Amino acid sequence: MVKLYLHHFVTTIGLAMFSCSSIAQDQLTLLTGDVANQNLQHAESDRFILSIHVLGAAERWAQQYSANLPKEAESAKKHFLEIWQSKREEIQDEIKSAYQPLLYSISKNINRYPAVVINDRYVIYGVEDVNKAYAIYLKWVEKQTEASQ
């Protein structure tokens, strides 16, 4: 069952941003555990702006670096420090990119995936097809509008 959840994000920026009466294009953020799927090829980009956060990226990054390290702990530490000294900025960027999706999901209280976050305010769990999630959201908005009239 797909449910739409309203998340109240209490940040000054969030409150200021959502006090606006209209948004030109909706912002959708897909949180997925795996690399982008086929459904993203057909995302209606003229109706919304899409960001993709792959939650498994941090684990894959760690596995990638671990696979190239010696098995013995001290040797692995020494080898990694040598790599760190020669590629520090590159590694920092990789770490930041790998952990960004996880930090985003924690900051938005997303507790499972797949999930589609709409305008940093609404969450639809259990749907990885962004077009379907957006259609669910638009239908919900329409019902809310009808109910308020």
Is pLDDT of 139 > 70?
yes
Model pLDDT, residue 140: 92
Domain membership of residue 20 (yes or no) is no
pTM beyond 0.85, yes or no? no
Q: Domain containing 143: what range?
A: 27-37+44-148
Domain membership of residue 16 (yes or no) is no
Domain membership of residue 11 (yes or no) is no
CA distance 109 to 141: 22
Structural domain total, the chain: 1
Q: 39 CB contacts (<8 Å, ≥6 apart)?
A: 128, 129, 130, 131, 132
Q: What is the pLDDT of residues 36-56, one digit of tens each?
A: 554 555 566 677 888 888 888
Domain membership of residue 4 (yes or no) is no
